[in-house]
Amino acid sequence: MTAPAGAGFLDRRLLFFSGKGGVGKSTVTAATALLAAERGRRVLLVEVDAKGNLTALFEQPPVGFQPREVYPGVFAMQMRTEDALREYLRLQLRVPVLARVGPLARVLDFVASAAPGVREILTVGKVCSEVRESQDGRADWDLVVVDAAATGHIVSQLDSPRAIQELVAVGPVRQQTEWMIELLSDPATTALHVVTTPEEMPVNETIGLVQRARTELTVPFGSVIVNRVLPEPFTRADEPVFDALLGGPARDVLDAEVGSGSGAVLEATRLAVSMRRSRATQLSRLRAVLDVPLVYLPYLFVRDHGLRVTRMVAEHLAAELGL
């Protein structure tokens, strides 16, 4: 099931962003949160992998499990499974005291941090419960934006309620996985976006993930956001001129006119042209293989990072989505 990009992009309540490492997933996630806040939404921004870098994109110090406003309208939190487990026990199962009993507390910490699968379900559970609380009027997020697991892990993360459901036949956990699955599967509520760059490995992983999401997940697919698209330096008609500039006689003229650095300028341009070409091939592959909406964001030739860049990405995103 494919949800359209564009106008509806910010109208869902829960957006997951995945992508291969290094493609700018966190930046795009932060830019989405910023854009939504600028459009009047109250946003909860959730960092799942405990790297603590997400708030740097707003030039703010790291946050913990308790959300803190990092930009007007954007509240950021970092997922901590130990805290999520405690909160779950306290709120959902009403076991406030038990979780603090000595050896039990250690066991719970251990379960939360080391037992396979627990981290995934607690993460998704916390995110889903924030959305549900908002729908029921007990929390006031218009939108929850999740900097989710990378392409290799996102399926097991988003599929964890179903995995748990296979294991647990009865009881409160079973019931909770049921409403979580319902919420995650609702195209009016939830979407999964994948961030990529037009390079071979990220494109491979994106294609693989889109296909897996279709067969293994009930979470509605949003769009593929192609980040760092390089500009086309020349039109096809102008290309022969550049090729001719690389020849001996032209080089002599250039050296005489602008100095010996002309070689560096031509070399840089040649590098840019071949990088653009190899990326164009990957863009064509994405277009040919996938029938999901593609959203393009340009490569930013900027010196700094931080809030200014997050804002620039948000502006490009808004322009591209027609928002």
Partner 1 sequence: MTSSSLEPLLASREIVVFCGSGGVGKTTTAAAAALAAATELGGRVLVLTIDPARRLADALGLEAIGNVERRVPDEALRAVGLEPRGELFAAMLDTKASWDDLVLRHAPDEETAYRVLGNSLYQNITARFVQSHDYIAMERLYDLHTNGRYDLIVVDTPPTRNAIDFLEAPSRMAEFFGGRLLRWLTVPYRLTGRRGARMMNVASRPFYQLADRVLGSQLLQDIAEFFLNFQSMYDGFVARAEAVERLLHDRRTSFAVVTTLEGAPLREAELFVHELGKRHLPLGALVLNRVLPPYLTSAEGQRAATALAERPADVAKALVGVGDATFDDPERTARVLATAAATYRDYSVVATRERELRAELARVPDVLATVPALPDEVHDLAGLARIGRALLATP
CB of 271 to partner 1, least distance (A): 6
Which amino acid makes up residue 35? L
Strand 68-71 relative to strand 143-147, pairing? unpaired
Contact 183, 14 (CB under 8 A): yes
Which member of 6, 152, 175, 308 binds partner 1 (CB under 8 A)?
A: 152
Closer residue to partner 1, CB minimum distance, 190 or 227:
227
**Which residues ranging from 301 to 320 are in contact with partner 1 (CB under 8 A)?**
301-305
**Which residues ranging from 178 to 197 are in contact with partner 1 (CB under 8 A)?**
none
The three-state secondary structure class of 87 is: helix
* Residue 204 touches partner 1, criterion: CB under 8 A: yes
CB of 70 to partner 1, least distance (A): 17
* Residue 241 touches partner 1, criterion: CB under 8 A: yes
* Residue 140 touches partner 1, criterion: CB under 8 A: no
Give the containing element (helix H, strand E) for 264.
helix 262-289
* Residue 50 touches partner 1, criterion: CB under 8 A: yes
Closer residue to partner 1, CB minimum distance, 139 or 163:
163
C-alpha gyration radius of the chain: 23
Cα separation, 114 vs 67, in Å, equals: 24
* Residue 61 touches partner 1, criterion: CB under 8 A: no
Which amino acid makes up residue 243? D
Which has the closest alpha carbon to 35: 311, 322, 320? 311
Which member of 4, 135, 200, 289 binds partner 1 (CB under 8 A)?
A: 200
Closer residue to partner 1, CB minimum distance, 89 or 139:
89
116: which 2 tokens? 């396979």
CA distances from 182 to 120, 175, 177, 203 (A): 17, 11, 9, 30
**Which residues ranging from 73 to 102 are in contact with partner 1 (CB under 8 A)?**
89, 93, 95, 98, 101
Q: State the angle between helix axes of 172-185 and 160-167 in degrees (0 to 180), rounded to the nearest 10.
A: 150
CA distances from 218 to 140, 169, 299 (A): 26, 20, 32
Closer residue to partner 1, CB minimum distance, 188 or 253:
253
Closer residue to partner 1, CB minimum distance, 159 or 320:
159
Cα separation, 185 vs 167, in Å, equals: 20
CB of 200 to partner 1, least distance (A): 5
* Residue 169 touches partner 1, criterion: CB under 8 A: yes
Strand 14-19 relative to strand 294-298, pairing? unpaired
* Residue 262 touches partner 1, criterion: CB under 8 A: yes
Which member of 139, 163, 294, 318 binds partner 1 (CB under 8 A)?
A: 163
**Which residues ranging from 96 to 135 are in contact with partner 1 (CB under 8 A)?**
98, 101, 103-104, 106-107, 110-111, 114-117, 119-120
